[in-house]
C-alpha cells in the first residue's frame, strides 16, 4: 500500500493537471458505476477457507494476575507455593469458559473439527485457533459477545539476507573490555545458568559447536519433540549467541554467551516460513516449559529472528510478546530487513517492551536493509543496532556459513543480555532494555534509523541504571517555551542532567541546542526555548548521570509553532504579475513541490526551495477579489502538505 501511494503521488507531481483530470474522471466514473457493479460475496468467497485465531473477552491467566497497566502484581507470584492452587483454579476457569465458547461456535457454524484443526491458548491470551473457516463462518463468530477479535493466521518469515563474501566477520565473545571500579566487565561472563528459547527453524544439535549447549526444544511445525533444523537459519542464529569453539574446526567461531542453556523451538519450516499460531504455541510453551501449570520455570530470554512486516503493535504476535515480557521474560526480536524506508519494523519487534534490533555494518554505519521506525511514535524503535552484516556462524552438517541481516544482529544482543543476567539475575526486562539503551553509541543517524545506537561487546556496562526515570509531562507554557517535567524518584545523590534537541526529519539529525542542569530533587522542570523553532518533528535526548549510574531517554516530539511561518509567500497579488514563494525549513531531507492554482485557470507546478509563478490574466473588476490556492507538497515520510490562500486582485487596484 505504501508503494501504491508513493506511485500515485509521483504521478500527481509528474503529470500535473492532466493526471488529475484522468484520475478524477476515473474516480467519478467509478462512483457512477458502483451501484450497478455487484459487490456481493461470490460463491468462491463463501467456499474459500483459511485458519483464524479467535481471542475471547474472558482474561487469560497472565491478564488475570496483572494490574490495570498490564504489569504483573509481583514477579514472585509464580514462585509462591501458596499461589500454585490459585493458578490451577484460574486455568480451570479458563478451560471451562473455552469449552462453552467453542461449543457455541461449532453449533452456529455447523462444522466438524479434528484435534489437528484446533489449538487452545490460555496463558498469554485466552483464545483458540481454528482451521478451515470460511468467511461466512468468521462473520457469524464475530457476532458473539464473548469474542474480542478475530485475526487471520498470518505467515511469518525469517529476517535474513544470505551473503557470499571472502571477507568474513566472526563473532568473538572474548573481546577486550575496559572496566573501572563501577563498571562490570562482560568478558568474564558467558551466560551460565541463563536459559534462552530461540524461535526459529530449529537447530542442528549434532553440530560440535552446539551439542553441549542444546538442552531441548519442540517442533511446532511437525508437532513433535525433535526441532531439527532443515533450513539452516536457526543453527546460524544460535551459533552467534551461544556457539562454542571446537578443537577440530578451522572456523574458530565463538558465541557471545557460550555457556547459556539453549532451547530450540522450531516455528519455521524448511522454507523459513511459519504462522502466527505456531509462534503463539511457542510462547505458551516458553511460559510453562514442562506444562505443569507452575510458571516459575519459564525461560529467561526469548530470541526471535523473524517477524511479520505487515504486523502492528497490537496484533496477536506483539500482544503475546508483550505479555511474556510482563511475566518476566526478556524478548528480543529482529527489526526486519525492509529498510531503508521508514515505518517498516516487523512485529513483534515493533512492540514497546520488546527489544528491537537493527543491523550495522563494520561497527560504523547502518545496514541499508535494516528496518526503520516511525516519527509519529514517542517510543524509539528500533531499540539498538548490532553487528549483522557478513557474519560467519554455525550451519547444519558441521558446516559454517556467512549471512547478513537483522536476524544475525538479534542473537548478538541476546548473548549480551544473557551475560548481563548472569551478572545480576534480578534484572527485569525493562531494566535490561534500559541498560542497552544507556550503553549504545550513536552512529550519527536519526533515532528512527539507529534507535539508541550501536551495542557491542567491547563496551563497558553500568548494571545499575537510574530506575523509573521518566518524562512526567511535556506542555507548552507559551509561544516561547516548552516545559518538561522529569520524574526521578528515590535519589540520594546529585544528578547531572543534559537535554539535547535534534531535528528528527533527516537521516542524519542536526543538534539544535543543549541544556545542562544539576538536581537533587525527585521532580525537576526544564524549560526548552521553542520560539525560533519551525513546526515539525524533533528528537529529545535526555542523559542523567551520577558517579555510579547512567540513564538515557529518547523521545520523538512534534512541535507546532504558529509564530514563525515556514512558507514565505505574498498574501495578495495582482493578476498578470510574477511572484515568488520559498520554504525556510532546515529539517527538510527532500525538495518540496509548490502547486499554484487559480480557479478555471491552468495548474502550475514548480519544484525547489524557492520558486516563481506567473499570475494569469483574469480580467477582474477593481473591487473584485479571486482566491487562489497555494499547496506545498513535501514528499517525505510522513508526507507533509500545507495549504495556503492567496488573494488575486485587479492590476490597477492599488
Task: Report the catalytic residues.
Answer: 200, 233, 407
pLDDT at residue 122, rounded to an integer: 94
Rounded Cα distance between 291 and 265, Å, is: 15
Q: Give the lowest-confidence range in 372-381, 461-470, 496-505.
A: 461-470
Rounded Cα distance between 486 and 518, Å, is: 12
pLDDT at residue 9, rounded to an integer: 39
Mean pLDDT over residues 14-25, rounded?
A: 37
Does residue 368 share a domain with residue 239?
A: yes
pLDDT at residue 66, rounded to an integer: 65
Does residue 474 share a domain with residue 390?
A: no
Residue 174 lies in a domain: no
DSSP state of 313: T
Q: What angle do CA 277, 281, 287 make, to 5 degrees?
A: 145
Mean pLDDT over residues 329-346, rounded?
A: 94
Whether residue 33 has pLDDT greater than 70:
no
Whether residue 248 has pLDDT greater than 70:
no
- The pTM for the full model equals 0.76
Domain containing residue 25: 1-40
Residue 281 lies in a domain: yes
Residue 173 lies in a domain: no
Under 8 Å between Cβ of 258 and 242: yes
Whether residue 288 has pLDDT greater than 80:
yes
Under 8 Å between Cβ of 635 and 560: no
Percent of the chain with pLDDT over 70: 79
How many structural domains are present in the chain? 5
Backbone angles phi, psi at 421, to 5 degrees: -70, -35
- CATH no. for residue 570? 2.60.40.10
Does residue 355 share a domain with residue 227?
A: yes
Residue 176 lies in a domain: no
Residue 460 lies in a domain: no
Under 8 Å between Cβ of 548 and 181: no
Does residue 101 share a domain with residue 239?
A: no
Rounded Cα distance between 639 and 631, Å, is: 13
Q: Which of helix, strand or coil describes residue 355? A: strand
Choose among 310, 305, 360: nearest CA to 332: 305
Whether residue 239 has pLDDT greater than 90:
yes
Mean pLDDT over residues 322-347, rounded?
A: 94
Domain stops at, among 509, 533, 559: 559
Query: What residue ranges in 122-246 does DSSP mark as E strands?
Result: 127-134, 147-152, 155-158, 161-162, 169-170, 195-200, 214-219
Q: 529 Cβ partners below 8 Å, 6+ apart?
A: 480, 481, 513
Does residue 394 share a domain with residue 276?
A: yes
Does residue 204 share a domain with residue 329?
A: yes
Q: What angle do CA 356, 362, 368 make, to 5 degrees?
A: 55
Does residue 59 share a domain with residue 33?
A: no
Does residue 224 share a domain with residue 78?
A: no
Choose among 394, 131, 158: nearest CA to 258: 394
Domain stops at, among 542, 559, 576: 559
- CATH no. for residue 221? 3.40.50.200
Cα distances from 421 to residues 36, 329, 468, in angstroms, run: 65, 11, 19
Choose among 466, 481, 476: nearest CA to 515: 481
Rounded Cα distance between 595 and 304, Å, is: 47
Whether residue 330 has pLDDT greater than 90:
yes
Domain stops at, among 559, 587, 617: 559
pLDDT at residue 640, rounded to an integer: 75
Average pLDDT, the chain: 81
- CATH no. for residue 488? 2.60.40.2150
Q: How confident is the model at residue 247 (pLDDT cuts 50, 70, 90)?
A: low
Q: How confident is the model at residue 76 (pLDDT cuts 50, 70, 90)?
A: low
Element (H, E) at 141: helix 135-141
Residue 417 lies in a domain: yes
Rounded Cα distance between 443 and 456, Å, is: 13
Does residue 302 share a domain with residue 219?
A: yes
Max mean pLDDT range (169-178, 447-456, 597-606): 447-456
pLDDT at residue 463, rounded to an integer: 65
Alpha helices in 34-130 (DSSP H): 43-47, 61-64, 83-109
Residue 215 lies in a domain: yes
Does residue 185 share a domain with residue 275?
A: yes
Q: How confident is the model at residue 403 (pLDDT cuts 50, 70, 90)?
A: very high
Does residue 580 share a domain with residue 549?
A: no
Q: Give the lowest-confidence range in 191-200, 415-424, 554-563, 592-601.
A: 554-563
Residue 462 lies in a domain: no
Q: How confident is the model at residue 28 (pLDDT cuts 50, 70, 90)?
A: very low
Q: What angle do CA 20, 26, 31 make, to 5 degrees?
A: 120
Does residue 371 share a domain with residue 265?
A: yes
Q: How confident is the model at residue 477 (pLDDT cuts 50, 70, 90)?
A: low
Amino acid at each position: 500500500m505504501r508503494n501504491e501511494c508513493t506511485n500515485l503521488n509521483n504521478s500527481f507531481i509528474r503529470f500535473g493537471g492532466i493526471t488529475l483530470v484522468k484520475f478524477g474522471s476515473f474516480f467519478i466514473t467509478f462512483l457512477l458505476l458502483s451501484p450497478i457493479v455487484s459487490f456481493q460475496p461470490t460463491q468462491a468467497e463463501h467456499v474459500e477457507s483459511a485458519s483464524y485465531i479467535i481471542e475471547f473477552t474472558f482474561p487469560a491467566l497472565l491478564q488475570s494476575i496483572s494490574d490495570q497497566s498490564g504489569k504483573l502484581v509481583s514477579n514472585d507470584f509464580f514462585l509462591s507455593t501458596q499461589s500454585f492452587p490459585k493458578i490451577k483454579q484460574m486455568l480451570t476457569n479458563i478451560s471451562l469458559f473455552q469449552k462453552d465458547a467453542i461449543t457455541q461456535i461449532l453449533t452456529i457454524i455447523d462444522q466438524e473439527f479434528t484435534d489437528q484443526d484446533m489449538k487452545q491458548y490460555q496463558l498469554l491470551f485466552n483464545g483458540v485457533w481454528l482451521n478451515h473457516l470460511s468467511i461466512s463462518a468468521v462473520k457469524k463468530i464475530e457476532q458473539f459477545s464473548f469474542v474480542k477479535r478475530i485475526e487471520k493466521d498470518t505467515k511469518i518469515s525469517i529476517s535474513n539476507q544470505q551473503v557470499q563474501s571472502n571477507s568474513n566477520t566472526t563473532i568473538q565473545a572474548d573481546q577486550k573490555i575496559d572496566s573501572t571500579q563501577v563498571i562490570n566487565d562482560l568478558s568474564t561472563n558467558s551466560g551460565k545458568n541463563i536459559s534462552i528459547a530461540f524461535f526459529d527453524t530449529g537447530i542442528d544439535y549434532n553440530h560440535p559447536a552446539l551439542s553441549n549447549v542444546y538442552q531441548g526444544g519442540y517442533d511446532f511445525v511437525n508437532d513433535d519433540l525433535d526441532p531439527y533444523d532443515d533450513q539452516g537459519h536457526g543453527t546460524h542464529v544460535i551459533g552467534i549467541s551461544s556457539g562454542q569453539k571446537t578443537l577440530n574446526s578451522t572456523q574458530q567461531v565463538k558465541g557471545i554467551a557460550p555457556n547459556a542453556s539453549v532451547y530450540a523451538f522450531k516455528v519455521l519450516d524448511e522454507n523459513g516460513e511459519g504462522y502466527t499460531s505456531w509462534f503463539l504455541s511457542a510462547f505458551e510453551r516458553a511460559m510453562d516449559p514442562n506444562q505443569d501449570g507452575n510458571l516459575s520455570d519459564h525461560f529467561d530470554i526469548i530470541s526471535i529472528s523473524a517477524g511479520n512486516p505487515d504486523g502492528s503493535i497490537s496484533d496477536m504476535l506483539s500482544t503475546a510478546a508483550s505479555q511474556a515480557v510482563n511475566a518476566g521474560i526478556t524478548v528480543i526480536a529482529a527489526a526486519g530487513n525492509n529498510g531503508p524506508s521508514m515505518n517498516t519494523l516487523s512485529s513483534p519487534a515493533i512492540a514497546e517492551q520488546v527489544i528491537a534490533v537493527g543491523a550495522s555494518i563494520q561497527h560504523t554505519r547502518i545496514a541499508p536493509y535494516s528496518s526503520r521506525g516511525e516519527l509519529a511514535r514517542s517510543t524509539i524503535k528500533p531499540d539498538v543496532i548490532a553487528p549483522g552484516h557478513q557474519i560467519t556462524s554455525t550451519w547444519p552438517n558441521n558446516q559454517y556459513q556467512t549471512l547478513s541481516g537483522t536476524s544475525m544482529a538479534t542473537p548478538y544482543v541476546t548473548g549480551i543480555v544473557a551475560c548481563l543476567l548472569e551478572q545480576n539475575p534480578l534484572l527485569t526486562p525493562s531494566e535490561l532494555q534500559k541498560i542497552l539503551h544507556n550503553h549504545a553509541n550513536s552512529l550519527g543517524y536519526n533515532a528512527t534509523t539507529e534507535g539508541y545506537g550501536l551495542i557491542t561487546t567491547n563496551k563497558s556496562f553500568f548494571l545499575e541504571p537510574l530506575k523509573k526515570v521518566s518524562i512526567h509531562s511535556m506542555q507548552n507554557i507559551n509561544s516561547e517555551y516548552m516545559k518538561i517535567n522529569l520524574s526521578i524518584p528515590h535519589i540520594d545523590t546529585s544528578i547531572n542532567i543534559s537535554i539535547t534537541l535534534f531535528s528528527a526529519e533527516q537521516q542524519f539529525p542536526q543538534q539544535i541546542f543543549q541544556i545542562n542542569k544539576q538536581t537533587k530533587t525527585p521532580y525537576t522542570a526544564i524549560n526548552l526555548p521553542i520560539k525560533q523553532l519551525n513546526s515539525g518533528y524533533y528528537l529529545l535526548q535526555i542523559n542523567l548521570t551520577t558517579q555510579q549510574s547512567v540513564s538515557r531517554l529518547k523521545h520523538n516530539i512534534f512541535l507546532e509553532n504558529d509564530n514563525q511561518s515556514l512558507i514565505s509567500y505574498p498574501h495578495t497579488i495582482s493578476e498578470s504579475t510574477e511572484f515568488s514563494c520559498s520554504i525556510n525549513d532546515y529539517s527538510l531531507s527532500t525538495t518540496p513541490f509548490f502547486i499554484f492554482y487559480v480557479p478555471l485557470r491552468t495548474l502550475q507546478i514548480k519544484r525547489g526551495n524557492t520558486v516563481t509563478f506567473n499570475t494569469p490574466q483574469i480580467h477582474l473588476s477593481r473591487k473584485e477579489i479571486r482566491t487562489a490556492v497555494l499547496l506545498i507538497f513535501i514528499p517525505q515520510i510522513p508526507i507533509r502538505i500545507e495549504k495556503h490562500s492567496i488573494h488575486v486582485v485587479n492590476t490597477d487596484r492599488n
